[in-house]
Amino acid sequence: MANKSTRRRFIGQTAALGVAGVGYWAGTSPVLKAQESALQGLSAACIGVGGKGGSDTSHIAEQGVNIVGLCDVDGGSLQKKGREFTSAEQFNDFREMLDKIGEKVDIVTVSTPDHNHAAAAIRAMRMKKHIYCQKPLTWSIREARMMRETAEEMGVITQMGNQGTSEDGLRTAVEVIQSGAIGDVAEVHVWSNRPIWPQGKGRPAGSDPVPEDLNWDAWIGPAPMRPFKKGEYHAFNWRGWADFGTGALGDMACHTTNMPVMALKLWDPVAVTAVKNPGIFEGETYPASSALLFEFPEREGLCACKFYWYDGGELPSSELISQLPRRQRQALEEQLKGTSQNKQSGALVVGSKGMVFSPDDYGAKFYLLPEDKFVDYKEPEQTLPRIPAKLSGDQRQKWEFVSTVKGEYEPGTMSNFGYAGRLTETILVGNLALRAGEGQRIEWDAKTLTSANVPAVNEFVQREYRKGWEI
């Protein structure tokens, strides 16, 4: 069975996925340390415990981990989670928490807005802490590279929160594509129902009083300081602001592109073009809709591939939509006609012998198309492990992470930072295109993380960190 992988087999799978090896087999010392700690009980400090961070904290605890520290800039979220974990110390600045209780902690979870991910996770990794970090892994391309390199250097167990990676369906779809069932793949199309928050607007004038229970300085973190405005940034709408979030692409592509990126090794695009690009509005927010084209060269025996991304209601051509299963086809046709405001998400992998279509944001469900051609299709032999825990997708990923930290799950975390860092780098190159003009082809050098033909975008590969929040 696939979940009884040998050490040699896992290493081979890791290399095949383009993973840098940061997982169970990153070295013996962190696993041995984790096994020793597990005998006494693992402990965790959780950064960001409201919203998604709330479930991340609870799911880690469900795996037998003792929550000893809770950190959130919002006093309301902190107090609410504190009622669930009454013995945990509470903080509103992750730097203070790690300084004070870091020695008591094995695991750190990071579920903050995007712009604080790297600052928190890299600090914790340098303290030899195992990290579970929400998607997208980072706010900037350079930070994604740094997260990958730091995890490998420190030999810690890591996992990014794109829970679809832990689903049997996604892993099966990857195996189907890699088996050659749909032939050579030269096109991938992914569309998203995001954004579901305001984009395409400028910075509001004036300021509002900062709530007494909100640490606004810590919320801003590494980003440039700006006045607090009620409802504009905290607690949800930050995703649309270029200083804090990564827009529709950053929010959902770690989910919806995950399956084709993994199956086709879509690392290191050589060019990206914003086919439809209203641009970053006044330098403040991502556009309300966009369409992007990523170009990938021949790689490891795979043919050159074009990857198209659509958000804000943009969709692939009617010709492609017409080939989808009836239910999904009708929903997209209604969206195109404007008779439905219910925007859809999906991923279509177009091969020379057929197509794989996933209507699931997480890649967990898929169809082989045309359906009549694959009526008698038998799935290929498993090459990827399956997680034995019978839990929800989100909980399965926490099981995979904690069990790896304990040294009890041999295959290790699949969305470790070696994989997730490369996935995030690939995705965030797309946001550079939104900084350039519509139709401007940006040639990209992944080795140096620079564009030679559009050098103006290079300043957005990384940021200058606010004093006290440097990485």
Q: What is the pLDDT of residue 177?
A: 98
467 assigned to some structural domain: no
State the average pLDDT for the chain: 92
Of 140, 237, 72, 134, the closest CA to residue 465 belongs to 140
C-alpha span between 432 and 141 (Å, rounded): 10
Does residue 78 share a domain with residue 108?
yes
Does residue 179 share a domain with residue 125?
no
Q: How confident is the model at residue 40 (pLDDT cuts 50, 70, 90)?
A: low
C-alpha span between 288 and 254 (Å, rounded): 19
Question: Strands 185-191 and 89-91: what pairing?
Answer: unpaired
Q: For position 146, which CATH number holds?
A: 3.40.50.720
Q: What is the pLDDT of residue 26?
A: 33
C-alpha span between 443 and 447 (Å, rounded): 12
**pLDDT (average), residues 204-212:** 98
Token pair 């198309």: residue:
369
CA 32, 35, 40, 44 torsion: positive or negative? Answer: positive
72 assigned to some structural domain: yes
Beta strand ranges found along 155-276 (DSSP E): 158-161, 185-191, 271-276
Does residue 399 share a domain with residue 333?
no
Query: Over the stretch 164-183, which tens digit does the pLDDT of each residue have?
Result: 999 999 999 999 999 999 99
Does residue 398 share a domain with residue 309?
no
DSSP state of 190: E
In the chain, the N- to C-terminal Cα span, in Å, equals 43
Distance from the Cα of residue 347 to its chain's centroid: 16
**pLDDT (average), residues 107-128:** 98
Residue 102 clears pLDDT 70, i.e. is over it:
yes
**pLDDT (average), residues 12-17:** 35
**For the chain, percent of residues with pLDDT exceeding 70:** 92
397 assigned to some structural domain: yes
Does residue 251 share a domain with residue 307?
yes
Does residue 131 share a domain with residue 187?
no
Residue 13 clears pLDDT 60, i.e. is over it:
no
Does residue 406 share a domain with residue 276?
no
Does residue 408 share a domain with residue 298?
no
Domains held by the chain: number: 2
Q: What is the pLDDT of residue 360?
A: 85
**Contact in structure between 246 and 155 (CB atoms under 8 Å):** no
Of 253, 264, 72, the closest CA to residue 184 belongs to 264
Q: How confident is the model at residue 116 (pLDDT cuts 50, 70, 90)?
A: very high
Q: For position 363, which CATH number holds?
A: 3.30.360.10
Residue 20 clears pLDDT 70, i.e. is over it:
no
Does residue 335 share a domain with residue 398?
no
Does residue 392 share a domain with residue 360?
no
226 assigned to some structural domain: no
**Contact in structure between 265 and 300 (CB atoms under 8 Å):** yes
230 assigned to some structural domain: no
Give the type of residue at 228: F
Query: Over the stretch 259-274, which tens digit does the pLDDT of each residue have?
Result: 999 999 999 999 999 9
Give the type of residue at 371: E
Q: How confident is the model at residue 340 (pLDDT cuts 50, 70, 90)?
A: confident
> pTM for this structure?
0.91
Does residue 134 share a domain with residue 80?
yes
**pLDDT (average), residues 274-294:** 96
Q: Write the CB contacts of 211 (distance below 8 Å, at least 6 apart in sequence).
A: none
217 assigned to some structural domain: no
Query: Over the stretch 348-362, which tens digit does the pLDDT of each residue have?
Result: 999 999 999 999 899
C-alpha span between 133 and 405 (Å, rounded): 14
**DSSP element (H, E) containing 71:** strand 66-71
**For the chain, percent of residues with pLDDT exceeding 90:** 90
Q: Which domain holds residue 57?
A: 2-166+387-418
337 assigned to some structural domain: yes
Residue 11 clears pLDDT 80, i.e. is over it:
no
Determine phi and psi for 372, rounding to 5 degrees: -65, -25
Residue 29: CB atoms within 10 Å: 11
Question: Strands 305-311 and 290-296: what pairing?
Answer: antiparallel
41 assigned to some structural domain: yes
**pLDDT (average), residues 17-43:** 45
Q: What is the pLDDT of residue 122?
A: 98
C-alpha span between 21 and 27 (Å, rounded): 9
- Reduced to 3 states (helix: H, G, I; strand: E, B; else coil), residue 89 is strand
Does residue 430 share a domain with residue 293?
yes
Q: What are the C-alpha distances in Å from 68 to residues 113, 159, 287, 373?
A: 22, 20, 41, 55
